[in-house]
Amino acid sequence: MNHGRPAGPAPDPDNCPPDPQETAEAYLLHHLRPDEAEAFEDHYIACARCAAVVEETGRFVAAMKQAAQGLCKVSDTPRARGAAAAPAGGSRGN
Ligand SMILES: [Zn+2]
C-alpha cells in the first residue's frame, strides 16, 4: 500500500466533468468561461485521467492548427502552382 500522499487535493473522480474530452477541448480552445476554465484546470492537474485527456486533446488541437497553417502556406506559395497540378475530382465511369 502506498501511504505517501502528495500535498494538495487528491484526485476526486466525482469532480470529473461528464464528458472530459469535450470539456478539455473547450478548455484548450478557450470556449470555457474563465471560472469554468479555472475550475477544470484545478481539477485536471490533480486528476490523472483528465490530465491525460487534456494532453491528448492538446496534441490533437495543435495538429489541427498545424494542418490549417500548412494549408495556408501551400496555397500561399505561387511556385507550388503547376508542380502540384493533380486533377481533382475526376468522376469518370469505367
Ligand atoms: Zn477528472
Tens digits of per-residue pLDDT, 12-71? 556 799 999 999 999 999 999 999 999 999 999 999 999 999 999 999 999 988 999 888
- The contacts of residue 92 (CB under 8 Å, 6+ apart) are none
* pTM of the complete model beyond 0.85: no
Grid cell at residue 34: 474563465
Range of the domain at 59: 17-76
- How many separate domains does the chain show? 1
Q: What is the identity of the amino acid at 57?
A: T
> Is 87 a domain residue?
no
> Is 27 a domain residue?
yes
> Is 24 a domain residue?
yes
> Is 54 a domain residue?
yes
> Is 47 a domain residue?
yes
> Is 22 a domain residue?
yes
CA distance 63 to 75: 18
> Is 91 a domain residue?
no
Q: Which residues surround ligand 1, an ion (CB under 5 A)?
A: 16, 47, 49-50
d(CA 43, ligand 1 centre) in Å: 6
Q: Where are the beta strands (DSSP E) in 10-80?
A: none
